[in-house]
Amino acid sequence: MSNPYQHAHEEGDYIDSYYSRTLNVAKEFPELTDEITTPVCIIGGGMAGVATAQGLVERGIKPVLIEANRIAWGASGRNGSFCSAGFSLGVDSIVKKVGKEHARELCKLTTEGLTLIKKRIGARSELRAETDGLLNISWFDERAAVEKNIEQMNDIMGVDYQFWSRDQIKELYHSERYYDGYLKPDGIQVHSLNYTCHAAKQAEDAGARIFEKSVALKIRKHGDGWKVITTKGSVIADQVVMCCSAYIGNLNFKLSSATLPVATYILLTEPLGERLKTAVEGPYGASDNRFSSNYYRILPDRRLFWGGRVSMFNPSGEKLKKIMMDDLLVVYPQLEGIKADVAWGGLMGYPVHKMPQIGQLEPGFWYNQGFGGSGMTSTVAGGEVVSAAIANADERYKLFEPYGLNYAGKPFGPIVAQTAYWLFQLQDAYKAWRLNK
Ligand SMILES: Cc1cc2nc3c(=O)[nH]c(=O)nc-3n(C[C@H](O)[C@H](O)[C@H](O)COP(=O)(O)OP(=O)(O)OC[C@H]3O[C@@H](n4cnc5c(N)ncnc54)[C@H](O)[C@@H]3O)c2cc1C
């Protein structure tokens, strides 16, 4: 698998991160070494692939899933852990493009995705943080805009987001940078690596066959179906579902060209003990609303788990720790001097239109990708609509038709996108200068 945006040494096992250090699902799946036959072959074992496998077994179809590295080795096992309904594209933009009712149907898929994630976690409370609720805080002094946004989200998404004044926020999050915001009371913080491994195990228990360290190298037409050639074996399938996201490499040109691999990062601090209270006291995961926002939460041992940035480059090690720590100190300068423990990055598959890409390239050749900033609930929504389409000829996947496989501009896309990110960051800085007196 070659991908110019991926460090070769990263391939294989889990990278060093909070998640791999706290992995508690011992299960390893075998490598595929035979030729096997299946009704459906899913390629890619991130949240999207695993959710598709779960959706299929729950509907009576036993698929094969092949993963190039380990289950949730990509974005799904490295992420910020914020799990809530909605897409990367704002509700107002969705309504503008497809109208209110269509937007409601799309958003409902992600509220149902959130419910399903909670159901699949079930009694395994260690897969999610103790306190529910995610707080979104405005970086800008524009209360009316925050209120309007909440009203629109509650209307279209059918949620109950609650306004929080700047005073309420500052009581728990002691940053001079913050203004008003809102709480998503149903949002949760998920241990995304353990969750996805646990979900893969659930799918296997229900009849799915799962293989790790089995790279799909080629996909060929085979009778009325497909043959997927892997490193040491092959899968003959009636239907194929592509869930490779930003790590797709050259497996399929059309799908690879439709998303930009965007890197984003997390920093884990040392345990901060009582000092943490000088900055963060709230139990809710918190994020701000800049284009390149920060999102963070407190872990039980009083570390800060700090995420942010989007970039086309891929810094690592000490350099990445410093970049992330500098961002943290912009928000909480009172934490000057704290130490970083580990920092890591992952790639998101980011479509230009910021909505998931779900559909068929031709009959029986499905794609389920482009979840970028839309995130975890939308991967589960994708898994549900694709599996329902395969099992029951359900047509809800067509809700995503207005958001197709737009060309993301490779090979120049990353340079254009990076320039666009810098421009967005400048816009945020200008907006803060204009509004925040
Ligand atoms: C640092 C970071 C922070 C994030 N924070 C959040 C957050 O807080 N909340 C949220 O909702 N979302 C967040 N996201 C986004 C979210 O993680 C992704 O949208 C989601 O995990 C995408 O899932 P996926 O299955 O599509 O992709 P991935 O998890 O990337 O999975 C794709 C898989 O396909 C496999 N693959 C690729 N090619 C092949 C092949 N040829 N053969 C076999 N297998 C192959 C890869 O090895 C990989 O495991 C974040 C992402 C990152 C990177």
- Residue 178 CA: distances (Å) to CA of 169, 188, 252, 266, 282: 8, 22, 44, 21, 14
Within 8 A by CB and 6+ apart from 148, the residues are none
Helix axes 376-392, 100-121, angle to 10 degrees: 100
Structure confidence at residue 30 (pLDDT): 97
- Residue 169 CA: distances (Å) to CA of 182, 279, 287: 9, 12, 12
| H helix intervals, 283-412 | 317-331, 376-392
Domains and CATH numbers, the chain: 8-79+193-260+352-411 (3.50.50.60)
Per-residue pLDDT of the chain (437 residues; tens, 9 = 90+): 333 334 333 567 999 999 999 999 878 999 999 999 999 999 999 999 999 999 999 999 999 999 999 999 999 999 999 999 999 999 999 999 999 999 999 999 999 999 999 999 999 999 999 999 999 999 999 999 999 999 999 999 999 999 999 999 999 999 999 999 999 999 999 999 999 999 999 999 999 999 999 999 999 999 999 999 999 999 999 999 999 999 999 999 999 999 888 889 999 999 999 999 999 999 999 999 998 889 999 999 999 999 998 877 778 899 999 999 999 999 999 999 999 999 999 999 989 899 999 999 999 999 999 998 889 999 999 999 999 999 999 999 999 999 999 877 766 666 777 777 777 778 888 888 888 87
Count the helix, strand and coil residues of the chain and give each as a percent rounded to the nearest 5. 40, 25, 35
Within 8 A by CB and 6+ apart from 28, the residues are 70, 212
Among 316, 320, 371, 378, residue to substitute to test ligand 1 (most atoms within 8 Å of Cβ)? 371
- Is 45 close to ligand 1, i.e. is its CB under 6 Å away? yes
- Is 299 close to ligand 1, i.e. is its CB under 6 Å away? no
The first and second tokens of residue 57, run together, are 């077994």
Structure confidence at residue 3 (pLDDT): 39
3-state secondary structure (DSSP) of residue 213: coil
Structure confidence at residue 256 (pLDDT): 93
Structure confidence at residue 413 (pLDDT): 66
The first and second tokens of residue 168, run together, are 């309420």
Structure confidence at residue 411 (pLDDT): 65
Tell me the longest C-alpha to C-alpha distance in the chain: 67
Query: Chain centroid to CA 94: how far?
Result: 19
The first and second tokens of residue 346, run together, are 């992952």
CB atoms near residue 306 (< 10 Å): 23
Asked whether 272 and 338 are in contact (CB, 8 A), the reply is: yes
Within 8 A by CB and 6+ apart from 249, the residues are 1, 2, 3, 256
Residue 294 CA to residue 282 CA, distance in Å, equals 16
CA of 347 to the centre of ligand 1 (A): 7
Among 376, 384, 400, residue to substitute to test ligand 1 (most atoms within 8 Å of Cβ)? 376
3-state secondary structure (DSSP) of residue 157: helix
CA of 323 to the centre of ligand 1 (A): 22
- Residue 81 CA: distances (Å) to CA of 128, 270, 276: 9, 19, 20
